[in-house]
Structure 1
Amino acid sequence: MYSGVFMIFLPLIIGYFIALHNDVWLSRINKTVSYLIYVILFLMGLSLSALDNLSSNLQTILLYTSTFFITIGLCNLAALPFIDKYFPVESTAKGISLPIYMMALESAKLIIVVGAGLLIGLLLPFQLPGINESSEAILLLLLFFIGIQLRNSGLTLRQIILNKRGMMIALVIILTSWCGGILAAYILDIPLTNALAMSSGFGWYSLAGILMGDAYGPIYGGASFMLELLRELVALVAIPMLIRRYPCTSIGYAGATAMDFTLPVIQSTGGVKCVPIAIVSGFILSILVPVLMLFFVSLGS
């Protein structure tokens, strides 16, 4: 764990104040972020392999994942339909079919990377030194580049404020996810700050898993990663089935991924009117994931 939470915020803040107008450099940063995520997730797998009583710890990870997934999902879905009821969005798409399985394969790659790290760690006759230190150093660099990505996403403050549905969806997801986290804390008998931090991932599985793993260890990191990844996979399947009747619910359940990974599905099955809502809600949730997670981590430390 870092000596101060500010040290984790600092690279994110510095990156956010860097405005780039060169598409080549932005493309390079996007690729670098992808590579760094793979590296850190591989190191997460190595950390899991070093756990004592690995089989029982994997059971704990699955228990945490399933509990948080059910409680957060139920709370999200209990509130989001009210936005569709009182602030309806007309869907303009004809139900275009998408190769969703191809997008699911992209998520599967990350699982394979974690699994590869776990397998290699189990096969090595010795433990590799400096895994945690390496993860922390790479995390600081990753947060710096993520700050640049958020700063150059193309959204202005005026565009965010004027899109009331996007803001409402983000607010509902935040509050109901915390409610689900509180329920999970009660069921699992874990510290409330840990549960609130874990429930603030909002679908950003790579960053959520990395931050939780750095703060609370590989059990929380693995559970958070699997929780948010499962959320995204369910969203990919559910959006085409629900978005024409419940567009705000579908966009909201996608969480932070509504501005990137699930956006093509939202656009093609929900229509162009859903796009700005998805981008705004996804952007707000994305920028708040590290802020809120680290805030709750600091409260518990």
Structure 2
Amino acid sequence: MPVRKVAAAVLLFSGQVLAAEIEPHWSGLPIWGVEAEARGYQIPLPFGVGVTAYSARQPVNIQDLQLGRNREPPVSVANFLQIDRVDTSQKNVSAKLDVLVFPFLDVYAILGRTTGTTQGVIEVPADAGLGIIGPRQLQLNASFNGPTYGAGFTLQGGGKVNEWRDLTFLVVADWNRTRTNLSFENETLVAETKPVATVFSGRLGLHATLSPGMGGAVWIGGMHQRIQQTVAGSVADTDLQFVVVQSPTKPWNTLLGGLIDFGRNGYVLLEGGLGARKSILAAAVYRF
């Protein structure tokens, strides 16, 4: 299941600072951090630990359905299908540990838990070649959950555009890949699967100083999700097995968000997703 992350650190421009006045972090990170601060950039502390809560709902396309019985190899019945809309919803809570390696590059690891549902109906006719007596309706009403783990990186940059509240533009690009070990319970379709999600997102925004030691930012962006498409399993209380090939109807959606930061020490943020995929993300990060 996809897990979304945003920039782990915000690079800000705060005016020229003498290099002699800059005290490096005990870790020596980020690399080139002292030089960046000497040029007037406020560099966040290099280590971060945070928690993220994410909820999303989106329609999916059923590209192919294969059915088999008595452990025989499944055969495609896609040409006989009548498919109603199929929706997937999910919730994820995860912890993240990140390291600012360079002022412009942050790497992170993710560990959390995903829960969700898949809802829809697939009509399989009696002449699908499986010996089914009468049309068969497969209820895609499944509840799933499992641990999620993965890693990613964030590229970020910016520069001052106005002296008013140190107004700064932000450019952020993020990539991550996660795997979820899903188990299904109390459902019609029981599948064992480990979907892999690859997520890319980009954001453009503005940051301003709100008060000494506190700032705020707003942004607009987009996110692309590529999710492992094949799910295999069995139909509960029958001798039917299935293989479903599915994917999001629209992999891109629009992002709108904002954050409040506490200088170099962390931030809280809220971000929404618009389009076919509706989502909401909340996160808090402490840096040290």
TM-score (norm 2): 0.22
Identify the structure with the greater strand proportion: 2
Bigger relative contact order (CA 8 A; separation at least 6): 1
Identify the structure with the greater helix proportion: 1
TM-score (norm 1): 0.22
Rg comparison, structure with higher value: 2
